[in-house]
């Protein structure tokens, strides 16, 4: 089976999905990553005294360490403007995603849910782009596309950063279609991938990524229903 994870920024893949990606790779699947921006607009650049372009190169270098650490089947990082996706013609983003899907021909596409977890507009745009391109390509005959899934967090009550200004967005239990149990080695890989982002260690600590992920990675699955959640994102799909 071939997976394609699509996210807007560097580190999106490591704030949880990396644990699932590692398990899928060890099961013999191909796991590919497409990231739309280099993430250079982050406020971290101000503390480092870097321009957006310079910070983008720093984050790209960190991403390449994740690629090696995780052992991805492939990784491509585009250069759309970080924090600027809302200013673009969405068809430009859709065309780039479509080209990548056409090239890789994945069976399963994974991106962000409608709330984007963080609620950040780049994440929201990513959801709609992934959904529109997936469905349009299916309508046009891309029968290799079997499943569209969204990495998410389960709803478990209030959740905020230490400053109280940021609340994570979560999915209701009935919206979660796959709960993937993590092994110790998956959790270790998640931590190793997070450690690749040396410029983001304080944020990783504040968010408490390892604690929020816990023992499972959760996904919504679009347009399919199951009596009980799957424990494998490729469950029920024939290659």
Alpha helix ranges (H) inside 71-215: 90-104, 121-139, 184-195, 201-207, 209-213
Residue 178's nearest CA partner among 226, 117, 224, 219 is: 219
pLDDT score for 167: 67
Q: Is the pLDDT of residue 165 over 90?
A: no
Residue 143 CA: distances (Å) to CA of 9, 126, 183, 221, 239: 28, 22, 32, 17, 11
Tell me what the mean pLDDT of segment 88-93 comes to: 97
pLDDT score for 162: 40
Q: Is the pLDDT of residue 166 over 80?
A: no
Q: Could you tell me if 187 and 14 are in contact, meaning their C-beta atoms sit under 8 angstroms apart? A: no
pLDDT confidence band for 168 (50 / 70 / 90): confident
Q: How many residues does the chain have?
A: 239
pLDDT score for 14: 96
The residue behind tokens 């450690």 is: 195
Q: pTM of the predicted model, to two decimals? A: 0.95
CA atoms within 13 A on the CB side of 234: 19
Of 2-16, 87-101, 181-195, 203-217, give the lowest mean pLDDT range: 203-217
pLDDT score for 201: 94
């Amino acid at each position: 089976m071939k997976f394609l994870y699509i996210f807007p920024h560097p580190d999106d893949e490591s704030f949880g999905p990396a644990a699932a990606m590692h398990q899928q790779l060890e099961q013999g699947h191909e796991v590919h990553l497409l990231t739309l921006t280099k993430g250079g607009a982050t406020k971290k650049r101000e503390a480092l005294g870097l321009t957006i372009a310079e910070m983008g190169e720093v984050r790209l270098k960190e991403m390449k360490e994740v690629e090696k650490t995780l052992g991805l089947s492939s990784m491509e990082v585009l250069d759309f403007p970080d924090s600027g996706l809302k200013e673009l013609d969405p068809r430009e983003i859709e065309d780039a995603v479509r080209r990548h899907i056409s090239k890789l021909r994945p069976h399963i596409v994974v991106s962000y849910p409608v709330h984007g977890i963080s609620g950040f507009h780049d994440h929201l745009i990513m959801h709609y782009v992934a959904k529109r391109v997936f469905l349009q390509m299916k309508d046009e005959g891309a029968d290799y596309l079997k499943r569209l899934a969204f990495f998410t967090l389960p709803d478990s009550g209030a959740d905020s950063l230490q400053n109280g200004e940021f609340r994570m967005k979560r999915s209701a239990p009935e919206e979660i279609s796959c709960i993937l149990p993590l092994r110790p080695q998956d959790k270790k890989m998640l931590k190793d991938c997070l450690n690749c982002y040396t410029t983001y260690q304080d944020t990783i600590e504040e968010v408490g990524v390892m604690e929020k992920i816990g023992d499972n990675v959760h996904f919504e699955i679009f347009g399919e229903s199951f009596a009980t959640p799957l424990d494998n994102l490729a469950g029920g799909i024939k290659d």
